[in-house]
Structure 1
Amino acid sequence: MTQAPEIPPHIRRDKFAPVPDLLRLRDEQPVTRVKLAVGGTAWLVTRYSDIREVFGGSGRFSNAPIGPFREQNEGRSGFLLGYDAPEHTRLRRMLTPEFTVRRIRRLQPRIEAIVTEHLDAIEQAGPPADLVTTFALPIPSLVICELLGVPYEDRDGFQENAKVRLDMSRDMDERVAAVQQSRDYLAGLVRTARADPGEDMLGMLVREHGDELDDHELTGVADLLLLAGHETTSNMLSLGTLLLLRHPVQAAAVRSGELVDQAVEEMLRYLSIVHTGVFRTALEDVELSGQRIAAGDLVVCSLPSANRDPALGQDLGTFDITRKISAHMAFGHGLHHCLGAPLARMEMKIAYPALLRRFPNLALAVGYEEVPFRSFSFIYGLEALPLTW
């Protein structure tokens, strides 16, 4: 059995918090060399202001794929996170209208119905229940499937592929194979949409932008939306529920419908489930916090560290839903700010209060120390969340 690689400091967590070593680096060595789980080294950037500079679209850093995925660049065409301007701008312009707050608001009744259906099923089955498999994973999966035009009955396949490709302890060949399997699956859906475009997002892209997008690009766009659309919100729903259970007074406020918007923003900031976002490459010599980064060097930005930087506010190691911070980096910043942020926010604002209202006595079915956290995943979360009521 292959030994799992050492967990780099920017991926390590102590339950909800980044490990003290990471915060110490932010204070003492805000830009420092680290070993990566996938091999090689990079500059780890930990301060809020420096990360805004890296993410800010200055043209000094590139998102283009590197390392083991470089040879997959053509095959990953359309995967927005691997694009720089102006190609990124061209593709994103086609998608942005579908993810405006106004457009997403039209989905609210359907999302509410999906949440209610899953709560009904959980209640009918009775306690205990694993919130990950019964609620946190299926709800965003079903939402993104319906929005995108992916058959929900295929979820076991694409969810397993997502888990493999995000698991940094897996062999790189295995992860690359999972990427290819995902693309092969979605390429088939793209061909179907070309022949008979439906009312879903794939159909819309074919009808409105079919002449501007080739099949590689359509496949890559669909791959990113499907992957990000269920993995991120799923982990926020499970991890956020556990966080609220650890803070019953704040959970009671969310249950009553008070401060729900602020609670979601504070959970996004406090949990920062995406450890780093996509790695960047310096396109020229750059200096951050007094450290010279040479052209061609790889840069990794710690979002949990940035979101607890004292430059952003006071006492950020405390979870407080009365806090008002609008500039957190849970969805990134600049050119690659998360396109699906309005959808993720709506799903959370509906799901958390509904869950807490349906089960006012919701509690852990195991000891807190027994809850399994995901150690090596690119997106932080829980393997399972056993609950009772």
Structure 2
Amino acid sequence: MTNRTGRNRQHGFTLVEALVALCIVGFGMLALVAVQFNLNSGTDLTRQRAEAMRLAQEKIEYFRSYTGITTGTVNWDALASSATEEIIDKYTIGGVDVPTNATYRRSWSLSGNNNDAVRMLQVKVTWEDRNYKLNSADADKGRQSVVLHTSIARVDPLETAYLGYPLPQNTNLKRPKNRNLNIPLEAIPLNTQESAYVLSGSLQIVFSNTSGLVIKKCSNLNATGSNYATATCTDFLGYVLAGYISGTPTVVSGVNLNGLTGITGSACKFGDAEDINTKTPIAGYKYYVCVIQVAALGNPYAGTVKLGGIPTSTGNTYKVCRFQYASSDFVDSNERNVQPYAGVAKSLDNQNYYIENSPSGSCPTITSAGAPSGFTGASVATQLHQDCRASQSPTTTATGTCPATAYNAATSLP
């Protein structure tokens, strides 16, 4: 007879235990999936953010790459805020369109106007990541964005080239007094942004140090500018036209601007050229500086400038020869002193002339032999500008070949 002391022992898992284990494993797998999903989302977002950053920087570099102030494929005066968002959803590489992994929207805003020395730029790039949800209450829910801020300075790219340009012997190409090269050296610094120049005892003009344009006219600004804050000044829009006259400059009485169109007023200062350090006259040279008033900034003028007062009586053999400099990709025809001028919308310096006294009808090539002491530049050919020889019977009216009158007094600015 067999004795049984209890139930038979059971082996293995019960169904409940198996289900519990399955649940534990399932929750663990779900956690792993969630981790993997978050990793993928993070990687995707990082890649998209880097791409958005690149797109924002690309637009900033576009604004910084302007090739001119008023002209050029990209020019300062044409820079403006975006009117609509720019949609970017693909790149073209080697003629093949490659889609991006998100659709980017790029917009930008630029403060101030094109007359400002510095403008603030904001570029914003937005995109919709994989968590984006369009919701009537919050349409931007899940939309990511990158915003960059910077400042853009109004500096002619030609001037920045001086930093890497090899300096000629005994010369210095940096901007004198840290202001525009078209501002006369004698101009009085008023502050970091403005300088003043005395045209006469009753008329002074104020320059923008950055643009070189005339922005104000004053009637009682003293020679030091110490009373600028209380001086009688009014806003004014104008350009400067300046240069030297050599050869036999004593026969010239001034500058005649009757041949210019598109101007609303003008005034000139004419006299001996002076050494900037000693203030003593430079023998054989005259200097002129004219203010050309226009109705609005950017309005161009055109025409021909003539020198006035040159003798045309019997036996006189004077000619006005114009320095017309070699063509270059970096200067336009107006800067080269090609006349008649066309579409001038900026200040011009080094518009120089040579007075030749000879019966010949041609103009000379000026060499270093006839230049001031220390001159080491190349020879420059001159162009016939005004033939005032008596044998040619030049007209002396205000608009003639050799006008007898000239705008010397600084009184014709309305």
Q: Which has the higher strand share?
A: 2
Q: Which has the higher helix share?
A: 1
**TM-score of the superposed pair, with normalisation by structure 1:** 0.21
**TM-score of the superposed pair, with normalisation by structure 2:** 0.20
Q: Which has the larger radius of gyration?
A: 2
Greater length-normalized contact order (CA 8 Å, ≥ 6 residues apart): 1
